[in-house]
Structure 1
Amino acid sequence: MAERLSDVEARIDSVRQLSMVISAMRGIASVRSHEASARLPGIRDYADTIGSAIAQALALFKGADIAPDADGEASGRLLVLALCAEQGFVGAFNTHILDAVQALIDAAGADRSDILMVGTRGIAAARERGLEPAESMVMTGHADQLTALANRLADRLFARLQGGAVSRVVIVGAQPPEARKTTDTVVPQTLIPFDFARFPATNRAQAPLVHLPAPILLERLTNEYVFAQLCEALTLSYAAENEARMRAMIAARENVARKVDELTATARRLRQEQITEELIELASAVKE
């Protein structure tokens, strides 16, 4: 009986240590999620500034200039940028993203689609589904490195576009609850073909001073806006991953608390049984 009681008490100590680890992981995830969310206003202000410049650049197209086709639907190869989790303990985070990726691949055809995937855990989960990424990247572990990651991702994307390997690009990433405009956790976003209809041409009283032909200026502004979209998507995904981990840790801590209560009740029962046995032994000795 004493040995069983000591085993239960040892398990209680072990579970309480696990609870401390879970609380620490929850705290880290919370801090990282807030750090990422704090960067979003600056990223969106930057994107708005570039968008305003695009609207002014569109007004420069005159006569023989060929304005971009905002309504054209690309029919070539599809590239899906899938932003998954780098680390574990995120619940169904990767599942939701891969479901959306699978739907896009099924609609376009596996022979006309490629996947560029970010996030080690997502890559492993994708391969279990039979989805093999054409390229993969590691998701950063710190919010300060998100811009550098967006730069590397943009380099790979533009290299594929310039090589004519793809003509349609869709980014699939999760969003934290506070950033969602709908109830959907994952909303695919089309990057290419670029939707110029979002930026109606703006005619100012004084035309902007430019040193580049309108098509080249617009191309560079468009590339910059796509980079801003990548920064926002990666930041949202990073925040959502850590928010999902925080929720998972909250649930784990509740489970651990219940387990501690169960083990404590068991220890009390075993201790009482041990005391009862000792009293019985003492009473028997007195009678003898």
Structure 2
Amino acid sequence: MSKFRKVEYHIQQLRELQSIITSMKTLSQLELRKLTGRAEHYREIARVLQEMVDDYMVNFPQPHPIAGDDLVMVIGSERGFCGPFNELLGEALLTGQASVKEKPWRVLAIGRKLCSHLDDRLPGYIPLAGAGTSEELATVLPRIVTTVQRQMGEQKCTKLLVLSHGDDEGVVAVSHLLPPKPVQKEREKLIPPHLYLEQAVFFREFLSHYLYLSVIRLFTVSLMIENRYRVEHLGGAVHRLDERLQTLCTKARSLRQEEITEEIEMILLGSGTFDAGLSGF
């Protein structure tokens, strides 16, 4: 195979790769647009939930929980091509939560790609499958919430901390989900909330809904930031492929010109032999 043919074959491969990456980028852009709208919706739900916590905790103060260990949940990615998304989470976990190195079994790592990053650095953690798209959240989250509740009971954990990417790109946020804490401690109501259930029953049922809706919000925001990273990462890959293709196309034209020149020279050199043969007739 000539040099020109080799370069042409390489160009064809790169163009096919560029088409695949562009399709992946387009899908991530569509997912990002969808998640951005949902994130706004869940932020409003989170605001209402916090108001309920404030109203309840101010009017019905809860006893301080018995001191215990923290259960740490880290929301990573199930898919790759999202730049430093999982590396930032791993660093925040190992540097900001020093106690997990002594008790790694109190870490729930969500997402296959995050788990591959923690395998050698934190042996003994609990891996869980995550969601690759927003459509998968409905089936994945109930299992994760059930696992959280079970682990908190079995390991006698009194707090749930969640490490995830927040609204600001590149910033890993630490959310104290359980027990819920009032934000407006001085907020007073002239008439306290009227409960149709006993306080203990109401608070237990409320915590179940509070945990599930809070986890949905964190996962939605995390997926949104993940796709934002992916769009940026794949966009950079497409740009580098464009530059590489331009270089190879220039090289291919140069090689083709050399081949054409060689072919012309061969024809001209051969024409002398052909003319000498005709002169004998």
Q: TM-score, structure 2 length as denominator?
A: 0.86
Please, which of 143, 149, 154 is the counterpart of residue 134 of structure 2? 143
The 10-residue stretch of structure 1 (37-46 or 23-32) with the greater mean CA deviation from structure 2: 37-46
Over 3 Å counting, the alpha-carbon distance change for 1:41 and 1:147 in structure 2 is farther
Letter of the structure 2 residue corresponding to residue 67 of structure 1: Q
Q: Over residues 161-185 of structure 1, what are the superposed CA-to-partner deviations in whole Å (9 max), with x where a residue is unaligned?
A: 334531232111113xxx22xx642
Over 3 Å counting, the alpha-carbon distance change for 1:138 and 1:109 in structure 2 is closer
1:35 positional shift = 1.4
**In the alignment, does 2:78 pair up with 1:86?**
yes
1:125 positional shift = 1.2
Whole-Å separation in 2 of the counterparts to 1:213 and 1:185: 41
Which position in structure 2 is the counterpart of 1:245?
230
Over 3 Å counting, the alpha-carbon distance change for 1:185 and 1:208 in structure 2 is closer
* Identity percentage of aligned residues: 19
Which position in structure 2 is the counterpart of 1:99?
91
Letter of the structure 1 residue corresponding to residue 54 of structure 2: A
Over 3 Å counting, the alpha-carbon distance change for 1:79 and 1:59 in structure 2 is closer
Which position in structure 1 is the counterpart of 2:23?
24
Please, which of 209, 215, 233 is the counterpart of residue 218 of structure 2? 233
Which position in structure 2 is the counterpart of 1:122?
114
Q: TM-score, structure 1 length as denominator?
A: 0.84
Whole-Å separation in 2 of the counterparts to 1:281 and 1:108: 74
| 4+ runs deviating over 6 angstroms | none
Q: Could you tell me whether the CA contact under 8 Å between 2:158 and 2:179 is conserved in 1?
A: yes
**In the alignment, does 2:148 pair up with 1:157?**
yes
Question: Where in structure 2 are the equivalents of 1:194-273 lying within 5 Å?
Answer: 194-198=180-184, 200-205=186-191, 207-273=192-258
SS at 1:128 equivalent: coil
Letter of the structure 2 residue corresponding to residue 251 of structure 1: G
Letter of the structure 1 residue corresponding to residue 74 of structure 2: A
RMSD: 2.4
Which position in structure 1 is the counterpart of 2:277?
none
Q: Which has the larger radius of gyration?
A: 2
SS at 2:103 equivalent: helix
1:282 positional shift = 2.9
Which position in structure 1 is the counterpart of 2:177?
191
Over 3 Å counting, the alpha-carbon distance change for 1:44 and 1:199 in structure 2 is farther
Letter of the structure 1 residue corresponding to residue 130 of structure 2: M
* Alignment gaps of 5+ in structure 2: 274-281
Q: Could you tell me whether the CA contact under 8 Å between 1:115 and 1:133 is conserved in 2?
A: yes
Aligned pair count?
273
More relative contact order, 1 or 2 (CA 8 Å, 6+ apart): 1
SS at 1:173 equivalent: strand
Q: Could you tell me whether the CA contact under 8 Å between 1:12 and 1:263 is conserved in 2?
A: yes
SS at 1:167 equivalent: strand
**In the alignment, does 2:47 pair up with 1:48?**
yes
The 10-residue stretch of structure 1 (272-281 or 147-156) with the greater mean CA deviation from structure 2: 147-156
Whole-Å separation in 1 of the counterparts to 2:221 and 2:57: 29
1:95 positional shift = 0.3
Question: Where in structure 2 are the equivalents of 1:28-39 lying within 5 Å?
Answer: 28-39=27-38
**In the alignment, does 2:66 pair up with 1:67?**
no
Q: Could you tell me whether the CA contact under 8 Å between 2:94 and 2:101 is conserved in 1?
A: no
* Alignment gaps of 5+ in structure 1: none
Letter of the structure 2 residue corresponding to residue 244 of structure 1: Y
Q: Over residues 167-207 of structure 1, what are the superposed CA-to-partner deviations in whole Å (9 max), with x where a residue is unaligned?
A: 232111113xxx22xx64212222234322446544145x5
Q: Over residues 53-90 of structure 1, what are the superposed CA-to-partner deviations in whole Å (9 max), with x where a residue is unaligned?
A: 333323543xxxx5344xx7x75222210111111111
Question: Where in structure 2 are the equivalents of 1:168-187 lying within 5 Å?
Answer: 168-175=159-166, 179-180=167-168, 184-187=170-173
